[in-house]
A and B are shown apart, each in its own frame.
Chain A
Amino acid sequence: GENVEQHPSTLSVQEGDSAVIKCTYSDSASNYFPWYKQELGKGPQLIIDIRSNVGEKKDQRIAVTLNKTAKHFSLHITETQPEDSAVYFCAARTNAGKSTFGDGTTLTVKP
């Protein structure tokens, strides 16, 4: 089955700096790569996603890049703000409909 590895497990940045979280996947059949943000006491929430036919996607301060050949994808957050502090999960999904998640990255943005 699919295996997704996520790094780093914790990340601390100064407000205004950029943050990058990286994931690798094992199943070349995976074709959909979402990112979720989980705030304390809540369920994960989809923040951005990318399909395998696209190399990069941006939404304001958030961007995701995908390298299909190397089987890795990354989340980039620019101009970080304290409200970006949360746990972030990457995931990989095939047409079978189920996603495999990374173990999560705890991002702390220091004011």
Chain B
Amino acid sequence: DAGITQSPRHKVTETGTPVTLRCHQTENHRYMYWYRQDPGHGLRLIHYSYGVKDTDKGEVSDGYSVSRSKTEDFLLTLESATSSQTSVYFCAISDDLGYTFGSGTRLTVV
């Protein structure tokens, strides 16, 4: 989607390894979010950010950490990946109205 990019688009990693997913925006929006999407669970919030260095936990934050050192970048880190973290991860940005989502990162933990 225009203004928001996620990288990588696909990743396969081994259990126990660290993984970082990147979300980059060019819209200068204040709010950024990380969601995971799993069959039967819809979209579940992992972490979100109100601004630089201002982050908070969502409903499924265990095993994940985030950082936002610049307005345009929001990083999601799995410190030690587990098979239960196999999922599609979506970043979203907002200017206090609806969200604009990225195209997603499909992560497989083997």
| Residue B96 at the chain A interface, CB threshold 8 Å | yes
Stretch in A57-65, A74-82, A93-101 touching the partner: A93-101
Q: Does B99 contact A46, Cβ atoms closer than 8 Å?
A: yes
Which residues of A are found within 8 Å of B103, using beta-carbon distances?
Answer: 42-43
Give chain B's interface residue range (CB within 8 Å of chain A).
Answer: 20 to 34
What DSSP secondary structure best describes chain B's contact surface?
A: strand
Q: How far is the CA of A34 from the CA of B98 in the complex (A)?
A: 7
B72-110 contacts to A (CB < 8 Å): 90, 92, 94, 96-104
Q: Does B59 contact A103, Cβ atoms closer than 8 Å?
A: no
Closest to B100 in A: A46
| Contact A49/B42 with A43-B90, A43-B104 known, Cβ cut-off 8 Å | no
| Residue B45 at the chain A interface, CB threshold 8 Å | yes
| Contact A99/B42 with A43-B90, A43-B104 known, Cβ cut-off 8 Å | no
Q: Does B50 contact A104, Cβ atoms closer than 8 Å?
A: no
Number of interface residues of A (CB under 8 A): 20
Please, could you name 18 A-B residue pairs with CB atoms under 8 Å apart, sorted by A? A36-B99, A36-B101, A43-B90, A43-B92, A43-B103, A43-B104, A44-B43, A45-B101, A46-B98, A49-B97, A97-B31, A97-B50, A98-B58, A99-B99, A101-B35, A103-B40, A104-B42, A104-B43
